[in-house]
Amino acid sequence: MEIFVSAGEASSDIHCALLIRELRKLGGDFTTFGLGGDKLKAEGTKLLMHNHEFSAGGGPLEVVALLPRRHRLERMLEERLFNGKPVYGAILCDNGEINLRLASLLHFFNVPIVYFIPPKVWVWRHSRIEAIEQHVDLVLSILPFEEPIYRHWEIPFKYVGNPLIDEVDTSMTEQQAKQRLGIAVDKNVLTVFAGSRYNEVKYHAALFGAGIRKFVEALPAGESKPLILLPAAPAIDAEMLKAVFAAELSSVGCEVQVVKEKSHECLRAARAALVKSGTSTLEAALLGTPMILAYHSSKSSEWLYRHVVRYRGFVGLVNLFLADSPEAALGWEPGSNLKPVVPELILEKCTPSNIATELTSIYFDTPARQAMLRQLARTRSLLLPKGAISPLLAAAQATHELFARSPDV
């Protein structure tokens, strides 16, 4: 029995690999193939394409450049299906640009489809949820505020909790994290996530470096300079990343270290973090690390965001989770004065001066830092439904039940 999987992002690769591991525990003799990364490959998945090939981000031109690779993946899957090789189920993870087209193809061949971590339909509205309604058999969500949206469209839906609950060791102390990283326990650390894809790093690295330089330049006399930790995703060239930050920070004498495979340790060791918008904001929240959320991109992307997408809610998942009013956080209540827990420096607000100012407000023992710490402490209870089992186990059970109901299994 073969199951198709598609995980085009580094975080999706982790989530999907752990889901496959839980699914194997439930029994059934199956193999997996599709799009993924090193984690899925380690779980035995035969990769049609490695997700490094889809490491884009930024503006529309970058996305357009990936179209030939996306078409190649679609043709490889189509050829397999047309040749009569049975696929008994499909697990799609995030990345709507790739997966919604794959869903259409798989649906044509009557393959039952689970969408684990669906695309953000509350940003894209009808254009994506209509495709999900037409082609997907079950949506497994990690965001509780998505439920009323899918219920309205009568799409089979289950909120399983957030898999970060299973993946992040929240018992790890700051001292333990520093020991694992080989850092002196009395050394102050500032952790910076510039992105997991090449074009994200291209737009953020120098900008973030300049912001940190301004922050360090303004440190009070006698204040020690922090060690700058740069967790790097598998697709990122560590030497390139270090070189960009080192060039920006050489004038202030900050030490820069790039770290692979230990992103959670980097966050837990940090006094504060500067994080590109994404899953890492929730990881930082679970680990209790005060942070600034930032995102910058191309002029074309900014134009699309302002004039086509026109989303007006919070960008950071951490702010959406911690908001007292999900509707206001999503921008559905015009005139709302709801403030984000974590400052969001998005597009034109993402400047070196703003980064330095916001970092100063949370790096030292200020009321803003203490207020943020109190809010971040709520994260774990919000990521897991009351009385729920492991999110990954819940997702595996729902997937197993759907595939077992398929007449072809």
What CATH number is given to the structural domain containing 67?
3.40.50.2000
Look at residue 166 and tell me if it is in a domain. Answer: no
CA distances (Å), origin 34, targets 14, 74, 101, 267, 274: 14, 10, 14, 31, 33
Say whether both 144 and 71 belong to one domain.
yes
Say whether both 57 and 186 belong to one domain.
no
User: Token digits for 299?
Assistant: 């002029």
Say whether both 379 and 391 belong to one domain.
no
pLDDT tens string, the chain, 409 residues long: the values are 899 999 988 889 999 999 999 999 998 789 999 999 999 999 999 999 998 887 655 555 566 667 888 899 999 999 999 887 889 999 999 888 889 999 999 999 999 999 999 988 877 656 788 899 999 999 999 988 888 889 889 999 999 988 888 889 999 999 999 999 999 999 999 999 988 887 788 889 999 999 999 999 999 988 999 999 999 988 788 899 999 999 999 899 899 999 998 999 999 999 999 999 888 999 999 999 999 999 987 676 666 666 566 667 888 889 988 888 877 888 777 767 889 999 999 988 999 999 999 999 999 999 999 999 999 999 888 887 766 678 999 999 999 999 988 665 4
Look at residue 167 and tell me if it is in a domain. Answer: no
pLDDT at 405: 82
Residues 217-261: tens digit of each pLDDT = 999 988 999 999 999 988 788 899 999 999 999 899 899 999 998
Look at residue 168 and tell me if it is in a domain. Answer: no
Q: Which residues, including other chains, have CB under 8 Å from residue 114's CB and lie 6 or more apart?
A: 89, 90, 91, 92, 136, 137, 138, 139, 140, 398, 399, 402, 403
Say whether both 150 and 187 belong to one domain.
no
Say whether both 129 and 195 belong to one domain.
no
Look at residue 314 and tell me if it is in a domain. Answer: yes
Length of the chain: 409
HSE, CB side, 13 Å, CA atoms: give it for residue 205: 26
Say whether both 69 and 191 belong to one domain.
no
Counting the structural domains of the chain, the total is 2
β-partners of residue 189 are 227
User: Token digits for 40?
Assistant: 């899925």
pTM of the predicted model as reported, rounded to 2 decimal places: 0.83
Look at residue 231 and tell me if it is in a domain. Answer: yes
Look at residue 169 and tell me if it is in a domain. Answer: no
CA distances (Å), origin 350, targets 198, 274, 321: 19, 11, 22
Say whether both 36 and 73 belong to one domain.
yes
Look at residue 97 and tell me if it is in a domain. Answer: yes
Give CA–CA dist 334/313, Å, rounded.
10
Fill in the DSSP letter of residue 51.
G
Q: Where does 218-324 have alpha helices with state H?
A: 238-249, 263-269, 279-286, 299-304, 317-322
Say whether both 156 and 192 belong to one domain.
no
Q: Can you give the residue range of the structural domain that contains 275? A: 174-383
Say whether both 76 and 187 belong to one domain.
no
Look at residue 100 and tell me if it is in a domain. Answer: yes
Say whether both 140 and 7 belong to one domain.
yes
Say whether both 208 and 134 belong to one domain.
no
pLDDT at 62: 60
Give CA–CA dist 20/296, Å, rounded.
34
Cβ–Cβ < 8 Å for 91, 409? no
Buried b / exposed e across 134-162, counting CB within 10 Å, b at 16+?
ebbbbbbbbbbbbeebbeeeebebbbbbb
Say whether both 196 and 301 belong to one domain.
yes
